[in-house]
Chains A and B, each alone.
Chain A
């Protein structure tokens, strides 16, 4: 579908809110000081699995500056356990902000100190004595399901969080018709999202109203209200959630900080003083949150020409010690069941399992990035087995543009685009043929070049309702977002939504959306940043997660602006004594196309808000409109085959990487990386490209650097920036990003959510490295390409470099 022409959207406008960080004026959570604030520090477990025999806090309490100390036992009395998403038996587990009775992962908080300064709190935390009785730990998902495996949560009686089966199409027939059946095993590693600003919370209790104000950076503030208020046993009306105007990144991870928010709020209420906690980087890496670790046992049915007829897979997902938000990851992947490929016959048995590793949560590309990786590895495995070109195998299997909108086997509807054209653009931009030729020439000189591809498809504006597959009684579904647009007393256009960004430039892009509706320069529109559950607007699902802001908040804003426009026209028509049909709203005024008479927003606002005696009969004073948008989906509840459709847009990116691998040292050098994407209508190309570049570099980092490795005792081996180095200017390559934008068939404005782009290069790098080392017969089946892993594969191959 052709792109619609917009006047204000689609322009690479300078991001106006960028001025605050560059002048040091941006306000993040830790920049908020309330006089008299106390500081919290955790005592954390140095072991993975142990019974807590004794906690002695006396020395800590005697330390200067220390005000209070809590342990799991205290918290158990004061709080209700967090609600669980799954039904029993797993739903029986008890989850509190501090470990109760036993610790279940390395770094789990067991006690907390509150003191007058952060320095004093951290000193005192070291004085708390904890006696542990170590228990055997289980770290691998498949091991955890074997009889006799240590139980992470005794009360559940099992380490299985949830198991589901998708039996889609005619899998047996597909396998019966296959020329070849290829079996393999693929592994996706665990890493952390590490936003540069660690998670934090500041809570204050107001005795005069018995209410709590929680300054936080949880990207889904109202979604976690049932968790926080349920645990605190307070009604939501007594808990005010506030985001500062700036949040220093999230990439999914900050969602889990509701456990800190609950504890800090409890302490603020108990002590009647503001309490603040900000994670250290070490705490953030250890237990801020991790991405899902997943193992795929796959069987594919293929024709000789590379056509994939069917897939059978048994998938094990390791979600760590507490499922929390997590059972969602066991089903969110099924929004993109076939990836970008036209495979109809798919049978998947998916098990999510608890282990003694850190808890997992959404991380950029949540649950789909692992699934996309599986498909991209499969494409190369099939190509190599059949002696075909991996580009050819992809072209044979890609979903065709003629079949768009495309209903996939698990019921989701892909919203347009031309996957084949995008892939061909990638081949051209990457100069595929040239590199294939060079590869031959280099090999003669014992230099090893490899070319790899991968595609990621990101279901965006996705719906937590997917968890209805897991628990049909869980009362959170839907995909709503709220917006308010007003012309204030001074005639200024002001807009708000319930989604506050973590670096996605909402103030600029949302102003562009409102500008489009009101046909006025976006620089004249004030988008108010931050979040406030008392004075702002919100819906229960509000927030910047799941690439939903542009699509859902954007639509809510557009529709709120439309409603406001109707009101403006109605008032202007009455005051100008004109037919509304002749009135045009433009540049902050209403003009008659017939008489040329006009009235400005300033004049209209003064009458609408203030000089209300001049208002026509029945006209509600003020110029403000609200809209809560919820997309309408067909088949938005799961059928017995777990098919469900409640995700709105599907942006996709195809990556191509050329690498050179040193066969002696196993060092990887990226020679070229190209990404071609279809982001739909771009509200602001500068912002879209920024998101895409960031996502791609994070994917490269995930493949080459980030890996949360535990030792056999469950001790995390990489827990700070020295041991877990993030990508820097020294490793990050330059990228070529190309757009092939088509309008989304599902969203009102034609945009697709693009915030995630999760992990695209992980697949292209893994495939490129395997391609480079193919003379050695090296098979890459892991998403993490450490030198250690590659070196072991090279050594095993026995071929001399």
Chain B
């Protein structure tokens, strides 16, 4: 990441941020204090990632930054300058759903759907690191993502199913 570029930045100072999200470059001059989630939603206009809290607790904004899962409200946009980001919109390729998306759908692993984007990205990262997790490992991997509707039961089922079908792809 290109954080080193700035030794000191004032919050309202304008900075140039260029990130590649789902394979496409988005470049814009923004205030240094702009959170990455706001860049994704309001600059790149990718609305799939959500905001559910103000304490980086809920995980609805989880995205993959340079291969690691990040709550994108925990990071300033400029800290991601030059980074490659994957969001829920980039999970499916050529209109084919990712095995995790298929498994979430098969298992009704969502109700209101507000946590789903973040949940999928955390599960994606989990399966990348650990293609065949135990239930305990799944629970640990998703502990930073809050779902208010499902009681997590179907989400855990879905991740298990995706893992069994090679969801780490």
Contact = CB atoms under 8 A, between A and B. Distances in A.
B58 A735 contact: no
A523 interface: no
A432 interface: no
B75 interface: no
Interface stretch (A405-413, A435-443, A685-693): A685-693
Nearest to B156: A729
Interface string B63-93: 0000000000000000000000001110110
A197 B112 contact: yes
Closest CB pairs A-B (n = 3) = A24-B48, A21-B113, A697-B151
B105 A14 contact: yes
Interface stretch (A27-35, A322-330, A785-793): A27-35
Contacts of B91: 23-24
Contact of A687 (B48, B101, B108): B108
A625 B114 CA distance: 34
B110 interface: yes
A15 B46 CA distance: 24
Q: Chain B interface: which size bin? A: 35 or more
Contacts of B154: 690, 693
A22 B97 contact: yes
Contacts of B146: 196, 721, 726, 728
Given A20-B113, A33-B42, A697-B151, 15 more contacts: A14-B105, A15-B108, A18-B108, A18-B110, A23-B101, A24-B46, A24-B117, A30-B50, A31-B41, A196-B58, A197-B114, A248-B50, A729-B155, A732-B152, A735-B153
A398 to B, nearest CB: 27
Contact of B53 (A19, A30, A721, A728): A721
Contacts of A197: 50, 52, 112, 114
Nearest to B22: A24
A554 interface: no
Contacts of A15: 105, 108
- Interface SS of B by simple majority: loop
A14 B31 CA distance: 44
- Interface SS of A by simple majority: loop
A282 B139 CA distance: 26
- B53, B120, B138 pick with most chain A CB within 10 angstroms: B53
Interface string B119-150: 01000000000000000001110111111111
A503 B97 contact: no
Contacts, number: 174
A247 B112 contact: yes
B108 A198 contact: no
A18 B101 CA distance: 10
A77 interface: no
A21 B144 CA distance: 19
Contacts of B114: 21, 28, 195-197, 246, 248-249
Contact of B47 (A22, A31, A504, A694): A31
Nearest to A13: B108
Given A196-B60, A729-B139, A23 B111 contact: no
A21 B116 contact: yes
A564 B145 CA distance: 45
A14 B154 CA distance: 13
B139 to A, nearest CB: 4
A750 B148 CA distance: 29
Given A18-B108, A697-B151, A729 B53 contact: no
5 contacts: A15-B105, A18-B104, A21-B117, A197-B50, A282-B54
Contacts of B47: 24, 27, 31
A24 B97 contact: no
Contacts of A19: 105
A193 to B, nearest CB: 8
Contacts of A25: 48, 89
A18 B105 CA distance: 6
B36 interface: no
Contacts of A27: 47
A245 B24 CA distance: 28
B163 interface: no
Contacts of A726: 146, 148
B19 interface: no
A734 B58 CA distance: 21
Contacts of A198: 52
B9 to A, nearest CB: 15
Contacts of A735: 151, 153
B61 to A, nearest CB: 11
Contacts of A619: none
